[in-house]
Amino acid sequence: MTVETADRIEKEIVMRAPRSKVWRALTDSAEFGKWFGVKMKDPFAPGAIARGAILTPGYDHLTLEVQVDRIDAERLFSYRWHPYAVDPETDYSREPMTLVEFQLEEITEGTRLKVTESGFDQIPTARRDEAFRMNSGGWGHQVQNIAKYVDQE
């Protein structure tokens, strides 16, 4: 299921895996990196900044940087980041960040994961549409990646 407005992207997937397994894949930074395509250097902790080298060809010159917002055990993991910050010549530090939330719900079929990224209306107009478009497609791929990852582990 996909829901999009001008300000938010929502993707949802159901995995035939226990919530605890999906939770580890989201919140253990090493496991997160395996399905997200990043070699994480830092653990996830509320208020902390976690960085990692992006492994995706064409983006492998970049570093992923997220500021962890909340970690509510097996329910909600969230962080803030600069969406589609791919130009190494641009200083994104003065721009507002979007909020990425991973919400887990245990259901009969396994675990429902809902990914929401919001705050695009605060991104500078010159790059807002492209950041939204690229992240919308990216989250579509990433929910599939985590589903494959938890099926294999």
Half-sphere exposure at residue 97, Cβ-oriented, CA atoms within 13 angstroms: 14
Mind listing the pLDDT tens digit for each residue in 47-84? Answer: 999 999 999 999 999 999 999 999 999 999 999 999 99
Q: Domains of the chain by range and CATH?
A: 2-152 (3.30.530.20)
Contact between 56 and 66 under an 8 Å Cβ cutoff? The reply is no
pLDDT at 5: 61
Residue type, 48: A
- pLDDT for residue 152 is more than 90: no
Task: Find, among 74, 138, 103, 119, the residue nearest to 13 by Cα.
Answer: 103
What would the two tokens of residue 62 be? 């970049």
Residue among 32, 24, 27, 22 nearest 111 (CA):
22
State the average pLDDT over residues 29-33.
Answer: 98
The larger pLDDT score, comparing residue 153 to residue 56, is at 56
The confidence score (pLDDT) of residue 6 equals 73
**Across 29-49, average pLDDT:** 98
Query: Would the pLDDT of 3 be above 60?
Result: no
Q: Give the separation between CA 75 and CA 23, rounded to whole angstroms.
A: 8
Q: Are 86 and 64 in contact (CB under 8 A)?
A: no
Cα–Cα distance, 33 to 16 (Å, whole number): 21
Q: Is the pLDDT of residue 1 over 60?
A: no
Separation of alpha carbons 77 and 134, rounded Å: 22
pTM of the model: 0.94
Looking up tokens 């259901």 gives: 107
The pLDDT confidence band at residue 117, using thresholds 50, 70 and 90, is: very high
104 pLDDT exceeds 90? yes
- 1 vs 107, which has greater pLDDT? 107
User: DSSP string spanning 64-89?
Assistant: EEEEEEEEETTTEEEEEE-TT---TT
pLDDT for the residue 4: 53
| Confidence bin at 2 (pLDDT 50/70/90) | low
CA–CA distance from 126 to each of 22, 35, 59 (Å)? 36, 30, 21
